[in-house]
Structure 1
């Protein structure tokens, strides 16, 4: 069943009923289309409408498109409900959810899945309007499932905007948990949320894992995390490609057995999803994600993980946001460049301060050679960093005047 993008937010009760049928197999699988017509047509093509739907498939979702190639992920009802059950176990029980994300994203559909499993109905809030949050949170106390735990799922951009709105921040502080995923969360943002009394739970996962499956660095029940050595990672002996396994894994990419075989691999008799992310685990097994493999900057023969550099920059006074990219350089191959958004009413730290801080924590190769002050870092979708656009912007700003 095709779910038109333009109608999704207005028909959540009907979608919830259709989803329940898809989850238990009594109804057809759902194919949500993005509201953007061009994106919807790309997904239609990637979904191969002439092919039969795999047994147990409940939902067919597009990936984020960061690679430029549209892929349709088949998610089984068992995988989706396993994810919902593991989330409830981690958070302390089922509850009622705030739906504040566009329904073309897996995190939004997981809000619906959790609601379907719990027998509750979510409250819808416009994705980009923090002023709507107080009324939406208040509505969570009424209706089906009212009076129990109250949760929300947001991306960092939404949380940052909500914290700038006094009443929205107070509303979020009333929730039992706010799941935060879709992009890396800067430490200052997490500190601001904690100071406002908002209980943030950082999530890591993807469409291929039915959404977030690692919470605050710890895998959900039934999920396993492993690291696989890679040749193109940063100069860190402990880092490796993140592999994820468990009942939450997708069936594969619809109509693309080649891509499915590449991404879903067998290791020691177990099926794993081989992510495109670099990670490291500590002595207790807690996962830290260092960024995407294809984001690694090779400068002077040394490999640098941009996300690690960004975390150092986020700790510096005067930095509201930062994005680190590689720009072609005739001497170094690539030069590490930082795009920095100054904090309100302040100034970005000078280059020598940035370099010293990064050099101390990560080593000299990771220290940016340029700091470019910008009003905002490029993003795509609902707040994920757009590193391609950022690299192009940095190259433009560094180009000599013609």
Structure 2
């Protein structure tokens, strides 16, 4: 039996009909019901259509969408989700814009994405104006009043004014499973790439609507699950958008804390208390450590909080244990995922390995054979089933990442792993961060996990730098808890669990390990700092 496919806009409207007056989005400023969100997103779709945007043309290649593209250049908030959902209702493909980009980086992104429209916050108007000066043609501009006090950019529509003037009847969804959704990822290295998802695969994969027989069945499931979800990462990253949209597909209210422009542990926890949040999403130690520190300084009762989902970076076991002590009854789930796969493996409590979700396999070095459990072979972690179709405008990267093995199509985003006899995955790290030292491969994330767990270390990142003797040498940049930890203690701690060639040759003390807004390691900074220290030593 063929399982029917669905799209985000159709399902959201069906769930909204059942939950009409229940809260759909809650921010520090206001709450919108599901009915109000339906009205506002239809109005936004009408604004796009009135400007000649929308609809989908057939395409011949996996690296094309056949649709107009809308960039969303906002901090977390209701308008972000409204813009994304409204775009889908108009059959416009939305894409995320990293709000930390310089004007030059932003201009590159808008060109690469072939942006026909940009929904942006006033806070970013100046950077956007500079980027627009480098484009041959300016997209439709829609500006959100984000409290920054920025004047309306020349030629831009005011978001609320445009919505008020629009006819929601002109924004009734025309979307379907074949519509596209763009998720831009910078990856570990290189320029950002737009990952193209079919709406049907997005819903069935990352958004968690699997094997439903009808829209009514999806609605019934949503009415059972409900809850309140607080995505802590920026929505400009998949680690934030995925759980928010997946929450909507489960009938959940999406809740945002009072400081959407940055991660604020106190604001997040206060919001969890006030809004009775049932689950939140964090990214590794960069989010987990401040939460623990805040709860230790100002304990809070969080009886409603049942799940903390961690994705995108490692969360130390000691932090997980402490969070469980500070929030009795909470469950912490470690997930592996990427823009090219969605969440595809889950780590069990106290385990060092990940269990596959659905169609996750390990593929050999040549990308032609599926590795069987129990082999010592290092391979590529791959995801089948509901996966993207390709990279926007990039046939070479599309063919390299999305491969067919034994008649099945897989996505290989670049993660390396081994497969245990029990069929679980020992995650080693990204190929792009692999260090080749003395002919041996060292996976930076494997060493980072060990160094971060050492006594006296608050945070750490591991990189390779040039070495006359080894080709590359392993360097650990660490942020100490205090002045008591020594390099010899760190080296001894590594020696207990790592092979000799994996132990960092150098430990560099830093005031702070830099991370991106989504909590992931800033490897470009770390490599530059490691090389700079080598040059200073010379």
**How does the TM-score come out when normalised to structure 1?**
0.83
* Aligned positions, number: 378
Q: 1:267 to 1:54 in 2, by over 3 A?
A: farther
Which one of 205, 209, 212 corresponds to residue 343 of structure 2?
212
Q: Are residues 1:292 and 2:430 paired?
A: yes
**Displacement of 1:242:** 1.2
SS at match of 1:164: helix
Q: 1:7 to 1:381 in 2, by over 3 A?
A: closer
1:359–1:365 contact (8 Å) kept in structure 2? no
Separation in 1, partners of 2:266, 2:98: 25
Report the counterpart of residue 186 of structure 2 in structure 1: 64
Higher CA-based Rg = 2
Q: Are residues 1:137 and 2:272 paired?
A: yes
1:101–1:107 contact (8 Å) kept in structure 2? yes
Report the counterpart of residue 154 of structure 1 in structure 2: 282
Report the counterpart of residue 181 of structure 1 in structure 2: 311
Separation in 2, partners of 1:77, 1:16: 12
Separation in 1, partners of 2:324, 2:75: 36
Which one of 463, 469, 472 corresponds to residue 325 of structure 1?
463
Q: 1:49 to 1:339 in 2, by over 3 A?
A: closer
2:113–2:392 contact (8 Å) kept in structure 1? yes
2:93–2:180 contact (8 Å) kept in structure 1? yes
Separation in 1, partners of 2:252, 2:526: 41
Which one of 191, 203, 208 corresponds to residue 85 of structure 1?
208
SS at match of 1:347: coil
**Displacement of 1:401:** 5.3
Report the counterpart of residue 305 of structure 1 in structure 2: 443
Q: 1:57 to 1:108 in 2, by over 3 A?
A: farther
**Displacement of 1:38:** 4.2
2:282–2:288 contact (8 Å) kept in structure 1? yes
2:72–2:83 contact (8 Å) kept in structure 1? no
Report the counterpart of residue 128 of structure 1 in structure 2: 263
SS at match of 2:463: strand
1:80–1:110 contact (8 Å) kept in structure 2? no
**Displacement of 1:39:** 4.0
2:207–2:242 contact (8 Å) kept in structure 1? yes
**Displacement of 1:73:** 1.2
Which one of 271, 279, 284 corresponds to residue 417 of structure 2?
279
Which 10-residue stretch deviates more, 383-392 or 54-63? 54-63
Q: 1:3 to 1:329 in 2, by over 3 A?
A: closer
Separation in 1, partners of 2:75, 2:479: 36
What is the CA deviation profile of residues 54-83 of structure 1, one whole-angstrom value per residue up to 9, with x for unaligned ones?
Answer: 972342121134322121111222222223
Q: 1:54 to 1:355 in 2, by over 3 A?
A: farther
Separation in 2, partners of 1:155, 1:328: 30
Q: 1:33 to 1:387 in 2, by over 3 A?
A: closer
| Aligned pairs for 1:99-114 within 5 A | 99-114=231-246
2:84–2:94 contact (8 Å) kept in structure 1? no
What is the CA deviation profile of residues 130-154 of structure 1, one whole-angstrom value per residue up to 9, with x for unaligned ones?
Answer: 221234213544xxxxxxx821111
Report the counterpart of residue 387 of structure 1 in structure 2: 523
What is the CA deviation profile of residues 171-190 of structure 1, one whole-angstrom value per residue up to 9, with x for unaligned ones?
Answer: 66741211111122233332
Q: Are residues 1:254 and 2:254 paired?
A: no
Separation in 2, partners of 1:318, 1:193: 19
Q: Which runs of 5+ in 1 are unaligned?
A: 142-148
Report the counterpart of residue 371 of structure 1 in structure 2: 507
What is the CA deviation profile of residues 310-350 of structure 1, one whole-angstrom value per residue up to 9, with x for unaligned ones?
Answer: 2222332212222222121111212222112112x452243
Separation in 1, partners of 2:245, 2:177: 19
Q: Are residues 1:48 and 2:179 paired?
A: no
Separation in 1, partners of 2:232, 2:400: 33
**How does the TM-score come out when normalised to structure 2?**
0.63
1:187–1:311 contact (8 Å) kept in structure 2? no
Which 10-residue stretch deviates more, 9-18 or 283-292? 9-18
**Displacement of 1:268:** 0.5
**Displacement of 1:163:** 1.5
SS at match of 1:362: coil
2:70–2:115 contact (8 Å) kept in structure 1? no
Q: Are residues 1:240 and 2:379 paired?
A: yes
Instruction: Give me the CA root mean square deviation.
Output: 3.1
2:391–2:397 contact (8 Å) kept in structure 1? yes
Report the counterpart of residue 146 of structure 1 in structure 2: none
Report the counterpart of residue 195 of structure 1 in structure 2: 325
SS at match of 1:84: coil
Q: Are residues 1:362 and 2:498 paired?
A: yes
Separation in 2, partners of 1:78, 1:176: 29
